[in-house]
Chains A and B, each alone.
Chain A
Amino acid sequence: MGYLLNILIISGIFGILSVSLNVLCGFSGILSLAHAAFFGIGAYTLGLLTTKLGIPYWTAFMAGGVFAAFFGILIGLPTLRLKGDYLLIATLGFGEIYTNTMTNLDNITEGTRGITGIPSPSLLGIRFDSDATFIILLFIACALCIASASFIKYSPFGKILFAISEDEDGVASLGRNTTRFKVTSIVFSAFWAGIAGSLYASYVGYINPNLFTINESILIFTMVLFGGLGSIPGSLIGAFILVALPEAMRFIGLPNTVAAVIRQMTYGLLLIVIMYFRPQGLLGTVKLR
């Protein structure tokens, strides 16, 4: 039971990540491989603020999201002028440099040793320090993320995002400031990635730079593509399947390090297979362009 809860919690966190990435990739057509960096920025913000500066938990929790969103603007403003393949590589570069910086800024981030002893949250006298209580908190966060993403999808704002992904010049010619829309979607996406990072850091209690690398970005990206661009239920299904399926390998009795590597191979193959058979993903409606 505890094991199942653990898988549910991890898929919930990745659910928030994939839904928020889908707002960027599926709605606005901005493909990004920097999502794990925003995830990591959230986790590190919470970890550093609570353990080093003694900032109250919930302030640090929100700071995780806000700080990630801030970096979203910082990276978004210059890179959003790019399109498709160029953008993807630029975001990849950002993700890689993020990992390097976190590893190298030894005196602040403790380098590869990571940050330990990150506290668990408590609210109204309830401590969310066990799987059974933490999942309640996660459920609320997930629900808020899904609700806000759905709200965007069906609002006039979201319609404009979809229009931008189809024909940006067309939208611009109708007098819309497309950059503002795109930056808003990156802020939304990075904010939720940061919140997911805060949740993850307080759930596991320990973080290091290797948890937020390009491999994690590709994993989240695969979840979105698997579930389908633009489909929120698709992203959730993608997150659940890609977290739960490799767990099956534990039962074959592979050592952990081998299992981790085989999992990566599966994700890689899966991306190619999706492109072969269903480039729009399981429930996707948006075509890649």
Chain B
Amino acid sequence: MLSQLICNGLVAGSAYSLIAIGYTMIYGVGRLINFAHGELYMCSAFCFYAFYILLDVNLYIAFVLSVATGCVMGIVLERIAYRPFRNYSRLVPLISTIGASTFLKAMVALLFGIQTKSLLKDSSYQQAIDIFNVTITPVQLYTMIISVLAMLLLGVILKRTTMGKAIRATSEDEKSARHVGIDTNAVTSITFAIGGGLAAVAGIMVGYDQNIHPNMGVLAGFKGFTAAVLGGIGNIPGAVIGGFVIGLAEHIGAGYISSIYKDSFSFIILLLVLISRPRGLMGEK
């Protein structure tokens, strides 16, 4: 049973990692906890639903289009709910993203209705397969593979490209970055776009696996945030590890203790981390 739980935990964890990276990067450049991050995840899943199910677009094209929409939504969110408030107290943009989150949830409910929807068209993706005594569906397998690829791609972008350097410089010291000529506004925009894109990948994959609902982003966002805090907010590898730890803890806890409290485990972890190691497991200072 343990190996099955670990496998499920890793699948869930890869999605949490993607969400956590977004939180951590946006916090890095903007010192903002983006409350609407879970909504980027949810909206992209619905966007995929619109393309793939309603408009009958090819799977891969629908995927790419939805991830692109996630990026664009990240940029729009930054323009409306973050940039006007960047010189205010940190709580002001936080509250405006709470507003954005409420608005987006309601907007999706208005457009698509509040019923749970399935993204499944081709059931072969849900046919469970056995690998080493562990049952896994192709969607879950792809979730892990695509997540890891997305993380590697992000790593390469951050390490090797000029843009990546600009992002790292801005999150290290925004003022100095501006002094050396980095357009920090553009960097913030790009970071929101990356965060939105990664959340979109997670949202579509999890949505494909477990159906979609306008409220699906709330808990996913919260767990992603917990993962980011666990890894030390601002720390990208930490966020990845945090995501997997949350996924594993949740599934192993649900398997051995009780599945009723599955969602409570992440909350307990968050409290324990914030109290004992507020900088997270891998946080600096």
- CB within 8 Å of B: which residues of A? 31, 33, 78-79, 81-82, 84-86, 88-90, 92-94, 96-97, 100-101, 104-105, 214-215, 218, 221-222, 225, 257-258, 261-265, 267-272, 275-276, 279, 287-289
Among all A-B residue pairs, the 3 with the closest Cβ atoms = A271-B99, A268-B103, A268-B102
In this complex, how many residues of chain B approach chain A with their Cβ under 8 Å: the count is 45
Q: Which residues of A contact B226 (CB under 8 A)?
A: 93
Q: Tell whether A265 pairs with B106 under 8 Å between CB atoms, given A92-B222, A96-B222.
A: yes
* Contact between A289 and B91, CB atoms less than 8 A apart: yes
Of B125-133, B157-165, B267-275, which binds chain A?
A: B267-275
Other A-B pairs, 13, CB within 8 Å; known A33-B98, A267-B102: A86-B229, A89-B33, A89-B225, A89-B270, A93-B226, A93-B266, A100-B264, A215-B102, A262-B106, A265-B102, A268-B99, A288-B89, A288-B92
Which residue on A lies nearest to B85, using beta carbons?
A275
Q: Tell whether A271 pairs with B222 under 8 Å between CB atoms, given A287-B89, A288-B91.
A: no
Selected A-B contacts with CB under 8 Å, 16 pairs: A86-B33, A86-B229, A89-B222, A90-B274, A93-B226, A93-B266, A96-B218, A100-B264, A101-B261, A215-B105, A264-B102, A268-B101, A268-B105, A272-B80, A272-B99, A275-B96
Partner pick for A96 among B35, B109, B219, B229, CB 8 A cutoff: B219
Q: Tell whether A261 pairs with B110 under 8 Å between CB atoms, given A78-B275, A289-B91.
A: yes
Which residue on A lies nearest to B264, using beta carbons?
A97
Q: Which residues of A contact B93 (CB under 8 A)?
A: 275
Partner pick for A100 among B99, B114, B263, CB 8 A cutoff: B263
A250 CA to B33 CA, complexed, in Å:
36
- At the interface, yes or no: B88 with Cβ under 8 Å from chain A? yes
* Contact between B100 and A272, CB atoms less than 8 A apart: yes
Partner pick for A265 among B88, B110, B229, B264, CB 8 A cutoff: B110
A89 CA to B100 CA, complexed, in Å:
15
B213: min CB distance to chain A, Å: 13
- CB within 8 Å of A: which residues of B? 33, 35, 80-81, 84-85, 88-96, 98-107, 109-110, 114, 218-219, 222, 225-226, 229, 260-261, 263-264, 266-267, 270-271, 274-275, 278
A41: min CB distance to chain B, Å: 15
* Contact between A268 and B100, CB atoms less than 8 A apart: yes
B88: min CB distance to chain A, Å: 7
A137 CA to B191 CA, complexed, in Å:
53
Q: Tell whether A265 pairs with B103 under 8 Å between CB atoms, given A93-B226, A97-B264, A279-B92.
A: yes
B82: min CB distance to chain A, Å: 11
